[in-house]
């Protein structure tokens, strides 16, 4: 790139960075400031593409579970959570709520992308012997990540990194560095772990969501006790992306008195249709 082209590129990039500083902040459902460069709609589009690629790969490897009892259980529990999610966040009514049940008894993990695309690994059930209430706490936590635009936050972090790499690459006439920066958004945005603040937010929102759906809030504590016991034996994938500080159980336990007031009769929410990918 000629010097004049470099200057023009850097001028445009400087304007973009200035606009980021002005417009790159939003407020989460709990009132937390969020660094957002990617719109929620754009995050949903990117997540859908990544999800469909993942599902195609899993289907090709014959990893998608179609056992009727497992499918019915997952659809029933996630359907109640989604029903509450839509009531609290009406914009999510248009999401393509779906869940892939992945046959992997060694993988203790679950996730939910922007737009309501979810996955559950059979290792959760096989290794933790989850009750319905405990599974609801996991999925409430994961769904909360999507509702709180945490995917857009992760993508924004990747984009901010890309801007920095692009500046360095163009300034040094290193097209490889600039290309690497562009690749970061595609390759890292959906795999970066959530921040500690986002995890704490999902803990709070997830417990409220599960309680409103009719599940026992105390299951959040027993769930993390099981996670801790499993981690003593071997690390769980879930814990690699969901930091569990020593006070996490205590923090969740401290929420229970208020949660018991939210839905004291444990009235079950209706079941919203959720597509189980098979």
The residues annotated with a catalytic role in the active site are 142
The Cα 123–Cα 135 span in angstroms is 12
Asked whether 26 and 32 are in contact (CB, 8 A), the reply is no
The Cα 232–Cα 142 span in angstroms is 23
Asked whether 52 and 98 are in contact (CB, 8 A), the reply is no
Phi, psi of 2 (to 5 degrees): -70, 165
The Cα 75–Cα 235 span in angstroms is 28
Token pair recorded at residue 111: 């996730």
E strands in the chain: 25-27, 33-35, 98-102, 110-112, 117-121, 275-277
């Amino acid at each position: 790139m000629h010097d004049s082209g470099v200057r023009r590129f850097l001028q445009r990039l400087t304007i973009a960075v200035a606009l980021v500083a002005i417009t790159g902040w939003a407020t989460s459902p709990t009132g937390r400031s969020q660094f957002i460069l990617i719109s929620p709609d754009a995050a949903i589009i990117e997540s859908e593409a990544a999800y469909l690629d993942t599902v195609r790969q899993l289907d090709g490897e014959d990893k998608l579970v179609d056992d009727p009892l497992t499918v019915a259980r997952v659809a029933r529990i996630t359907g109640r959570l989604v029903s509450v999610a839509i009531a609290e966040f009406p914009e999510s009514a248009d999401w393509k709520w779906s869940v892939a049940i992945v046959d992997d008894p060694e993988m203790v993990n679950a996730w939910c992308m922007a737009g309501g695309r979810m996955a559950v690994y059979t290792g959760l059930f096989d290794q933790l012997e989850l009750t319905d209430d405990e599974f609801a706490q996991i999925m409430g936590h994961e769904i909360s990540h999507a509702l709180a635009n945490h995917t857009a936050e992760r993508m924004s972090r990747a984009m901010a990194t890309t801007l920095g790499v692009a500046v360095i690459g163009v300034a040094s006439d290193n097209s490889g560095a600039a290309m690497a920066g562009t690749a970061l958004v595609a390759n890292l945005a959906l795999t970066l772990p959530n921040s500690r603040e986002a995890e704490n937010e999902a803990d709070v929102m997830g417990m409220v969501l599960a309680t409103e759906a009719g599940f026992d809030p105390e299951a959040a504590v027993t769930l993390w006790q099981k996670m801790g016991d499993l981690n003593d034996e071997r690390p769980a994938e879930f814990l690699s992306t969901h930091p569990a500080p020593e006070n996490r159980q205590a923090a969740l336990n401290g929420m229970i008195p208020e949660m018991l007031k939210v839905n004291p009769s444990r009235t079950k929410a209706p079941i919203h249709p959720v597509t189980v990918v098979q």
